[in-house]
Amino acid sequence: MCMRLLNLEFLQRAGADLPTEIVEHLEKTRPAPTPPAHCRILKGRRDNIHDVVDFGRACDISPETICWELIQYSRLSLPPERRLPENPAILPALLVELLTILEILVLAFLESGVYNIYRARCTGARLFRNQTCRNDCVWIQAGGENMYGALRGRLLARLISLFKIR
Amino acid sequence: MSLVDSGPPSDVHSLVTVQLRDVTRELTVVNIGTILGVAHLIPETERRWLVNSRINLRTFNGICWDHRGGLYNKINSGSDVAWMWATLLPDGAVASRSQLGDKRV
């Protein structure tokens, strides 16, 4: 379901009987006190995807649709200095990296400094472990807390693809 | 996906229902920073799901989800939804498999 990222304080509070050498090692190698609040890690890079056209082919979506959606996203969500080029000759040729796993660190319920690592997977049209394709459902913060009734600004969506544009 | 009736929890099981949008763009691009976590949806029909915000997945897989179809079909049959959730959810209490079996009889 998910992995849990525990810190030394949590283990000691839970009464874990850790050997002295392990505690010393953990003390020495302790990273930053807490991970960033909204840490996201993309993994599972797919090869043979070079540009927006390849990306559309891999996801079975027309390049025109993808370009149009990218332009909409760029206009509505990106600051002016980071907007994508809207030139139809340039946009389809932008470098794209397609990935299949998004790791999300979520603060554990009633804990501080303990994070659960959730893995949202999206294989697109490809099979997952030789069975059906897997495109997980995720929560998205789509608006303020007064929107969408009891969901308080969150909406549900199915991941179709995870990508980076370079 | 869109909310059914603008998103109030159901009077029966206190869960929100979502459905596939009828008129929809093929896809929407979002920043991955807006993705908050993985969601668990319980199928109600082919186009509608209950948003599980009450039972953890271990409980759900162990008690509610019967891969042979029995109990899972009960959940989907509509009239049993209230009984099912009332059995599992009051004050966080969870009925054991045997208790559920007894009540089903």
Q: What integer pLDDT is reported at residue A36 of this predicted model?
A: 56
Mean per-residue pLDDT for B48-64?
74
The DSSP code for A5 is E
pTM: 0.67
Q: What integer pLDDT is reported at residue B100 of this predicted model?
A: 39
Between chains, do B30 and A158 touch, taking CB under 8 Å as contact?
no
Q: What integer pLDDT is reported at residue A31 of this predicted model?
A: 57
d(C-alpha A104, C-alpha A39), whole Å: 6
Mean per-residue pLDDT for B74-86?
43
Considering CB atoms only, which of B3, B34, B58 is closest to A140?
Answer: B34
Residues in chain A closer than 8 A to B40 (CB atoms) = 137
Residues 6+ apart with CB under 8 A from A122: A100, A102, A134, A135, A136, A159, A160, A161, A162
Per the model's pLDDT, the better-predicted residue between A91 and A22 turns out to be: A91
Task: Tokens for A100, please give them.
Answer: 């299949």
Four-point Cα dihedral B12, B39, B27, A93, nearest 10: 180
Mean per-residue pLDDT for A19-40?
69
Between chains, do B29 and A72 touch, taking CB under 8 Å as contact?
yes
Query: Mutate which of A94, A156, A159 to disrupt the B interface (most B C-beta within 10 Å)?
Result: A156
Mean per-residue pLDDT for B39-58?
80
Size of chain B, expressed as the number of residues it contains: 105
Burial label for A37, CB within 10 Å (0-12, 13-18, 19+), is exposed
The model's confidence at residue A162, banded by pLDDT at 50, 70 and 90, is very high
d(C-alpha B71, C-alpha B64), whole Å: 7
